């Protein structure tokens, strides 16, 4: 790593979408405010994966909140990682929890939660929530802001 520059391989370069989530390279950068507790949020309102049985597309609105420790999640690598699910077959629960676990394993946040708000297929919406760690005292964690599915009502 060059002095003052994070050791990242994708930001600032033309990089294609990985073939699968397993092949995607998530990257992290040092947290310049590691002495301060705060929440960082990523929102992916157009997440797509495939049903592992029918190969039909599934769509979700993902919200990822975390309180970083020493590391931040690099956003371009996250975008490419999430895009790799477009041709990946997995159930809603698997996608949501696997994303949370992969991010947590890389950046080791003090707290992380992911909300997967899946659009209905077959008439049933499935919302999936996963978290790890404890929210530090006095940290403001806003609601995720995604309304439960209500149909046309």
As annotated, the active-site residues are 51, 58
Listed residue (62, 63, 77, 97) closest to 29, CA to CA: 77
H/E element holding 7? none
The closest alpha carbon to 88, from 47, 28, 124, belongs to 47
- State the greatest distance between any 2 C-alpha atoms of the chain, in Å, as a whole number: 56
Burial class (CB in 10 A: 0-12, 13-18, 19+), 150: exposed
- φ/ψ of 37, rounded to 5, equals -90, 125
């Amino acid at each position: 790593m060059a002095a003052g520059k994070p050791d990242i391989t994708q930001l600032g370069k033309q990089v294609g979408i990985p073939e699968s989530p397993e092949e995607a390279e998530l990257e992290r950068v040092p947290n310049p405010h590691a002495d301060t507790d705060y929440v960082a949020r990523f929102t992916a309102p157009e997440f797509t994966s495939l049903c592992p049985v029918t190969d039909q597309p599934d769509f979700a609105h993902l919200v990822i909140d975390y309180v970083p420790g020493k590391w931040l999640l690099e956003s371009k690598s996250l975008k490419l990682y999430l895009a790799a699910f477009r041709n990946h077959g997995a159930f809603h629960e698997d996608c949501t929890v696997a994303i949370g676990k992969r991010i947590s394993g890389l950046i080791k946040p003090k707290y992380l939660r992911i909300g997967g708000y899946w659009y209905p297929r077959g008439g049933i919406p499935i919302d999936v929530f996963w978290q790890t760690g404890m929210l530090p005292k006095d940290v403001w964690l806003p609601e995720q802001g995604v309304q439960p599915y209500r149909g046309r009502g």
